[in-house]
Amino acid sequence: MKFSHLLKFSALGISIVLFRRKKPILGTIIITDICNLTCKHCAVSNVQKAMYPYSQIKDEMNQLYNMGVRILFFSGGEPFMWQDGDKRIRDLVIEAKSIGFYIVNIVTNGTFPIDIPEANLILLSIDGGKENHNNIRGDTYDLILENIRGATSNNICLYAAINNINLYDIKEICTLAKQEPNINAASFNFHVPYSNTKHLELSVEQKKVACEILKQLIKKKYPIFNLKSAFKHITNNTFKTPCHQCVVIENGKLSTCGRCIHIKDLCQKCGYFFAAEYSLIFSGNIRVIFDMLGTYLKYV
């Protein structure tokens, strides 16, 4: 993140905290729900099998920007499968930058070649060491590693959903992030137990184990893009939900925080670290605010 953008972001954050505004700053656009994988933990891909048009996505970008969003994610489905005529995901990133978003990120499963240096972060799903990753996502680990090593920029951040299969693979994921030059960090969420994936849910005790592993790795200088000061709140779900500073839009439908808000009682089991961190930041938690400033300057 440019320092000038960080100052503007901080000023906006201060105004939200002081005046208790429910103004979004982080937005996600679902550009397609089509995906080439059938991951065990996923409940949102290939539902409508929709590929949304460029003009609509551009309108949604402008809508979010005018609402105050300055950090933008493109997600799916699999965003690298999105196309509209000759337009591809890289065109969306370039357009978002021209609109004025400070940070533009992509969430991907990593099974396609990576050539988008314009993105601030490419959040790439690695869900464990090779054995457990392939158990969750199919036989894709070697292909993903090949694509990471062939990427044209070092803007990749590993993105893992911790569940009861891969709980003890956290260090292996962080070691990969530390060793590969095209990866600048690893980021984690807890599995969110949609109705058909409840068997993967972590207990509170398992979440504590995961956070303790992460704390020790952060202490040892592993590149982890999560805020240590927020761990106890995420473990016990003691942060305010939904987070009004995060929004998701898909096919014109705007949701506060995320798509899971529409599912009864799922908010209380939120495992999204970003949602928890932003909720705490804009509730005025000083420790998390300072933790965020240092982490974003390091990895974005």
Q: Does residue 102 lie in a domain region?
A: yes
Cβ within 8 Å of residue 169, ≥6 positions away: 127, 128, 129, 132, 133
Give me the pLDDT at residue 194, please: 84
* Confidence band, pLDDT 50/70/90 cuts, at residue 299: confident
Q: How many domains in the chain?
A: 2
- Structural domain span for residue 165: 25-68+75-226
Q: Can you give the pTM of this predicted structure? A: 0.91
Query: Which of 226, 256, 285 is the C-terminal boundary of a domain?
Result: 226
Residue 194 shares a structural domain with residue 234: no
Phi, psi of 253 (to 5 degrees): -90, 120
Give me the pLDDT at residue 27, please: 96
Q: What is the tens place of the pLDDT at every residue in 37-96?
A: 999 888 778 788 999 999 999 999 999 999 999 999 999 999 999 999 999 999 999 999
Q: What is the tens place of the pLDDT at every residue in 105-151?
A: 999 999 999 999 999 999 999 999 999 999 999 999 999 999 999 99
Other Cβ atoms less than 10 A from the Cβ of 30: the count is 26
Q: Mean pLDDT across the stretch 30-37? A: 95
Residue 36 shares a structural domain with residue 82: yes
> Which of the listed ranges 4-8, 98-102, 273-277 does the model predict with the highest average pLDDT?
98-102
For residue 168, the domain's CATH number is 3.20.20.70
Q: Which has the closest alpha carbon to 270: 283, 280, 257?
A: 257
Q: Does residue 245 lie in a domain region?
A: no
Residue 54 shares a structural domain with residue 202: yes
Residue 85 shares a structural domain with residue 158: yes
* Confidence band, pLDDT 50/70/90 cuts, at residue 4: low
Residue 221 shares a structural domain with residue 234: no
Residue 47 shares a structural domain with residue 189: yes
Give me the pLDDT at residue 258, please: 75
Residue 194 shares a structural domain with residue 293: no
Q: Mean pLDDT across the stretch 248-257? A: 92
